[in-house]
Structure formats: structure tokens, C-alpha cells
Amino acid sequence: MTGGHIPFPTWLNPEIVPGLPLRWYGLMYLVAFYLTYRLLRVRIAERNLRVDRETVLNLFFWGIVGVLIGGRLISVIVYDPSGHYLRNPLQIIVPFVREAGRLRFIGLQGMAYHGGLLGAIVAVALYCRAKRLPVAEWMDMIATCTPLGYTFGRLGNFINGELFGRVTTVPWGMVFPGAPGFPAEQAWVQQLAERSGIDIGPEQMLVNLARHPSQLYEAALEGLLLFAVLWFVLRKRAPFPGVLFSAYLVGYGVVRFAVEYVRQPDPGLDFPIMLVEVANPAQTSLLNFTTGQLLSAVMIAVGAAVFFRCRRRAAPRRSVPGDSAPGGRAPDDASAGGSARAPSHRTGSGRTRRRRAAARRSHPS
């Protein structure tokens, strides 16, 4: 640590092997998918569900397809204000770009979490319907397994040096090499640089200020904390199907909404709702909302709606006047406050005695 900031580790490289198209971010995705699958197998085993391995693999496969399609589409539709993908639609699905007559591998740059979530929900729900699996119960199981994978996804973002936070002077603020600089002649830039221990050269035009390592915040909160709550606290205490899925939606939405206050807004989108004007990027307001916060607010609302809908479906039906007693039996008179007398069986009893006497006379012992 130098002064009031932490330099970004120079030994971190997005490529696993320099020169080869193998990136840590892609590897983190694979680790996340594998962990989610193994945890899902644990959930199936502890519930003693009679489902074959092929069904689970197919469910997981279509869930991943939903994540990739939904995440990619929302990324290029919502988070690309420049219109680049509208002019180059093939780059939505083709991981190569032509430069100077040659193809260069660039990968599929850009995945939106909220789009991936929507795609996964649709894919899993359709598959469960097709296989006659209870949708709410399977959504619950998947929801408890998913957050741990986010930890590795956000670590991949950190290694890439992307999705960094807003400028700050906290001691753990980090200078990301790919972050945009600010004009060195501005007074607020000089003040923040001095407080963070960042030197400004006499002819330096731009200053790269320290920022919140928001990727690590999200790895800890969206990943480890949310997983711990769902897996260790709520997993075996769910009162009805769907409550874990709704808890996941609300929990992630709340955490993401909060972290967005220290995360750098997406380029070109900034604050779709800005109620308070700020003088410079170092100033923040709780009344200015990013695109991520708006989508997270929708996520929280959907989670609450899912909770109340599932609770209503799980609640026992209330009896109404005129209904029969449980089990199809008529209500007992005494239970209604009366002292009903048992029906008399004297006639039947007399007939029985006479038959027995006649039988004794016809068959003497």
C-alpha cells in the first residue's frame, strides 16, 4: 500500500496463458457452473427426489443456454447506447472481429446479469413444465445453489479490471489501469489525488484516481453472504415452495441496489433517474439511480410478488358457511353448542332378542 490507495496487482493478466484465447473470466464461468451443478445434486439427494441424472443434466444445460442468451441480449440491447451491435449484429454471437484483413478473437464481450437471470428462469420453467416437474420446488433448489458461483464471476471481473467502482479516498481504494482519467488541472482531482497519495506530474494531463473495488464487494455480498443465508439459514426452514426463490430475488436485488451506490455507472447510461445535480464524480446522492438499480428494484418487486403468490397457493382453504366438516362428514350437533341425544335403537334390539330365542328353541343344546 502506498499512501491512501492500493495499486492494481500488475501480475494479474486477463489471459491464463498470454497469447492464447483462454481467459480467467471464462474459466470462472465454468467453475461457477460446476459448483452450482454439484450443489444441486446435493439438494436432490437430501430431498430423496426420484429423478434420473439425464433429466438433471438437461435441466442444467437449458438453464445455461438461458443464461447465455438472456445475458447477451440484454447486454447488447440495454447496455450498448452507442448502437455498435445494431450496426454489427453478427458480433452479438460471433467472437471474432476482422482487422486489417485478418480475424482476431475478442470473445463475447458483455453479459448482463439481469438478462441472464431472466433467460434462466424462462428456460428452467419451460423445461420443468415439459417434464412435469414442480416449478416452484426446482426454482427453490436452484436458487440456493446459484449465489456461490457469483463469487467466481465477480473475481473474473476483478481480474479483467472491469466493472470497477466510483472514485474514493478510502484506504482500500484501488487504481485500475483501464479506468478513465480526470483532468489534472481541476481542483477536486488534485484534492482527491493528494488524499489518496497519488502523485501528479508537472506535465500530466489526466489523473487515474483510486476507486472502490466494487467487484470484490459484490463477490462477498452477492456471492458469499447471499449463499450463506440461503444455504445455511433458510434452506431447511422454508415453510412453502417458492419461498427460497423469492428470498433469492429479493436478497440479490437489495444487495445489488446498495452496491450500485459505489459502483461506476455504465458508460453512456450514467443515471437514468437523476434527482440531484452533483458537481463532480466524487460526489454522490442517494436520489440518483443507475440502470442496475432500476433493474434491481424490479427484481425486488418480482420477488415480493412471487412470495405472496406462493404463500397464497400454499395456504389451506378456509371453510365457509354450509361446507361439510373435514373428511366429508356432517358437523356434529354437539359441536354446534347443542346437547344432541343419541338415536334410539330399541326396535332393532327387540327384534334381535326374539330371533335369538327362536334359534334356541329350534336347536336345543
Contact (Cβ atoms closer than 8 angstroms) between residue 162 and residue 216: no
pLDDT digits (tens, 9 = 90+) for 160-185: 999 999 999 999 999 999 999 999 99
- Which pairs with CB-CB distance under 8 Å and at least 24 residues apart come from 60-64? 60/33, 60/36, 62/123, 62/124, 62/126, 62/127, 63/120, 63/123, 63/124, 63/127, 63/142, 64/33, 64/120
Shortest CA distance to 35 belongs to which of 152, 167, 177?
152
pLDDT digits (tens, 9 = 90+) for 48-93: 998 999 999 999 999 999 998 999 888 888 887 777 777 777 777 7
Helices (H), 275-339: 291-314
DSSP 8-class letter at 342: P
Comparing 186 with 85, the larger pLDDT belongs to 186
13-27, 34-48, 116-130, 260-274: range with lowest mean pLDDT = 13-27
Given this model, what pLDDT does residue 101 score?
Answer: 75
Quote the CA–CA distance of 285 and 185 in Å, as a whole number: 25
H helix or E strand, kind and range, residue 122: helix 113-130
pLDDT digits (tens, 9 = 90+) for 136-155: 999 999 999 999 999 999 99
Cell numbers at 5, concatenated? 490507495
In sequence order, what DSSP letters do the residues of 41-110 get, joined into one string? HHHHHHTT----HHHHHHHHHHHHHHHHHHHHHHHHHHS-TT-HHHH-GGGGT--EEEETTEEEE-----
Residue type, 276: V
Given this model, what pLDDT does residue 360 score?
Answer: 55
Residue type, 154: R
The sign one gets for the Cα dihedral 71, 74, 76, 81 is: negative
- Maximum Cα interatomic distance, the chain, rounded to a whole number of Å: 134
CB count within 10 Å of CB 2 equals 11
pLDDT digits (tens, 9 = 90+) for 235-274: 999 999 999 999 999 999 999 999 999 999 988 888 999 9
Comparing 355 with 70, the larger pLDDT belongs to 70
Contact (Cβ atoms closer than 8 angstroms) between residue 284 and residue 261: yes
**Mean pLDDT in residue range 225-234:** 97
Give, in order, the Cα–Cα distances in Å from 117 to each of 124, 155, 184, 224, 279. Answer: 11, 19, 41, 18, 35
- Band (pLDDT 50/70/90 cuts) for residue 337 is very low
Given this model, what pLDDT does residue 276 score?
Answer: 95
Contact (Cβ atoms closer than 8 angstroms) between residue 90 and residue 38: no
Quote the CA–CA distance of 71 and 265 in Å, as a whole number: 18
Comparing 278 with 104, the larger pLDDT belongs to 278
The sign one gets for the Cα dihedral 250, 156, 284, 276 is: negative
In sequence order, what DSSP letters do the residues of 148-184 get, joined into one string? HHHHHHHHHHHHHT-S-B-B--STT-EE-TTSPPEET
Quote the CA–CA distance of 179 and 167 in Å, as a whole number: 10
DSSP 8-class letter at 327: G
Given this model, what pLDDT does residue 346 score?
Answer: 46
Contact (Cβ atoms closer than 8 angstroms) between residue 15 and residue 161: no
Q: Is the pLDDT of residue 327 over 50?
A: no
